[in-house]
Amino acid sequence: MRAAILLSLALGAVLSGCSVERVLNRVSASETLAVSERARAVHAGAFVADLHADSLLWGRDLASRASYGHVDLPRLRDGGVALQAFTVVTRVPWTINIESNRSDAYDLVTALAVVGRWPGLTRSSRLERALHQARRLEEAAARDGRLRLVRRKSDLVDLVAERERDPAVLGAILGIEGAHALDGEVANVEPLAAAGFRMIGLVHFFDNEFAGSAHGTEKHGLTERGRELVARMEALGIAVDLAHSSSATIEDVLAIAERPLVVSHTGVRGTCDNQRNLSDAHLRGIAAGGGVIGIGFWETAVCGRSARDVARAILHALEVVGDEHVALGSDFDGAVRTPFDATGLAQITQALLDGGLAEASIRRVLGENTQRLFAVTLPDA
């Protein structure tokens, strides 16, 4: 997300037919990789999963192909995706940056809700914003017919089996970017779980009642409510997402987590050293508990604008923690520019082959690790 969103929202409110998303979610590549027959075969044979896309925020009909943005169901199928995590955004500060954001800054999602004519309760309740976006996914599934919502372990097993008969079947799992979506109450995790959310990031761009953000003013660790929330999420089968978390929050969660953790979208400081990305020490800590780290595709995450830059970050993470803990976490449709949209994911496969990675390791990164993570964290029923 970038501060330029404010201008785009204003323009979208006054210019008939102009989409805010056309300005923000764009493809901008320094090079486009030619995909070899070998890479196409490896990609086609993989269970491809992406841990993070903010597509539900924008109001597009995801069942229909669009000429802008990064993700819709037809383009996911073109990209060979088996499972897509759709992560909802409920609050973004106006002064957005990766260094320091006040928690009381003007909220851009309020403006987007007004422009997009969201239901009235979403104007004041972040919980209602999350539930509204969850309903959008259910509506897309109803229109599409071959989109399966993954809410329990058996759904994941069924998805794998059904895709063997029909590769056009696509799985979707709901996540939340920032626990401020709970409106400050741990108890609100219950209706979110009932709505199908199975991954929640504790923070986004600012500190909240539960934890400190890497981009907040205080950057503190878990609060008492945060500790209670982590325990409740694990009991409900909701994966704890450490994306955007402060170092103190990561350390606090690592100390108490009883189930594998996830970082839905990040870069690594080993190839792109900034406040947004994870240190090698944190990579090791997350991997030690069986967790999975999703590598993002945008420039702040990988310090570049090509699939080779994404692969470089992946390869560094593999050197640090091995091939069972690294995954894809695009941040598609997150008000970022990426080197390709969902149709271009095979470019990563090509870049990893070019980097000398074995095909078995590539398949783990492309989605087997994500599949294994959710096989552990999802509830039984």
- Residue ranges covered by each domain of the chain: 5-26+45-377
Q: Which pLDDT does position 262 carry in this prediction?
A: 98
Q: Which pLDDT does position 76 carry in this prediction?
A: 98
Instruction: Output the pTM of the full model.
Output: 0.95
**Contact criterion met (CB below 8 Å) for 297 and 310:** yes
Q: Tens of pLDDT along 168-207?
A: 999 999 999 999 999 999 999 999 999 999 999 999 999 9
Q: Which pLDDT does position 92 carry in this prediction?
A: 94
Confidence check: pLDDT of 377 > 90 = yes
Confidence check: pLDDT of 373 > 50 = yes
Q: Which pLDDT does position 115 carry in this prediction?
A: 84
Q: Tens of pLDDT along 125-146?
A: 999 999 999 999 999 999 999 9
Give whole-number Cα distances, 303 to 1, 178, 240, 336, 380, in Å.
16, 24, 26, 13, 40
Q: Which pLDDT does position 53 carry in this prediction?
A: 98
Confidence check: pLDDT of 9 > 80 = no
Alpha-carbon gap, residue 363 to 145, rounded angstroms: 27
Alpha-carbon gap, residue 50 to 76, rounded angstroms: 10
Give whole-number Cα distances, 314 to 290, 302, 337, 372, in Å.
17, 9, 19, 18
Confidence check: pLDDT of 21 > 70 = yes
**pLDDT bucket at 282, cuts 50 / 70 / 90:** very high
Asked which of 1-10, 43-52, 161-170 is least confident by mean pLDDT, the reply is 1-10
Q: Which pLDDT does position 15 carry in this prediction?
A: 36
What whole-number percentage of the chain has pLDDT above 90? 90
Q: What's the whole-number mean pLDDT along residues 71-99?
A: 96
Confidence check: pLDDT of 292 > 90 = yes
Q: What's the whole-number mean pLDDT along residues 316-334?
A: 98
Q: Which pLDDT does position 51 carry in this prediction?
A: 98
Instruction: List all residues 6 or more positions away from 208 whose beta carbon is below 8 Å from its beta carbon.
Output: 103, 178, 179, 180, 184, 202
If one compares 105 and 292, the residue with the highest pLDDT of the two is 292
Q: What is the mean pLDDT of the chain?
A: 94
Helix (H, G, I), strand (E, B) or coil at 294: strand
**Contact criterion met (CB below 8 Å) for 344 and 297:** no
**How many CB atoms sit inside 10 A of residue 283's CB?**
24
Alpha-carbon gap, residue 58 to 65, rounded angstroms: 14
Alpha-carbon gap, residue 196 to 86, rounded angstroms: 11
- Among 42, 141, 89, which Cα is nearest to 367's? 42
Tokens of 131: 């539930």
- Among 265, 333, 331, which Cα is nearest to 69's? 333
- Amino acid of residue 366: L
Q: Which pLDDT does position 274 carry in this prediction?
A: 96
Mark out the alpha helices in the chain (DSSP H runs): 5-14, 20-24, 37-44, 73-78, 108-115, 126-144, 153-165, 189-194, 224-236, 247-256, 280-288, 299-302, 307-321, 346-354, 359-363, 369-377
Confidence check: pLDDT of 315 > 50 = yes
Residue carrying the six token digits 């980097």: 355
Tokens of 343: 């149709």
What whole-number percentage of the chain has pLDDT above 70? 95
H/E stretch holding 338: strand 337-338
Q: What are phi and psi of 49, to 5 degrees?
A: -135, 140
Tokens of 319: 């050197």
Alpha-carbon gap, residue 347 to 33, rounded angstroms: 6
Highest CATH level, class, for 5-26+45-377: alpha beta
Q: What's the whole-number mean pLDDT along residues 64-86?
A: 98
Alpha-carbon gap, residue 84 to 174, rounded angstroms: 9
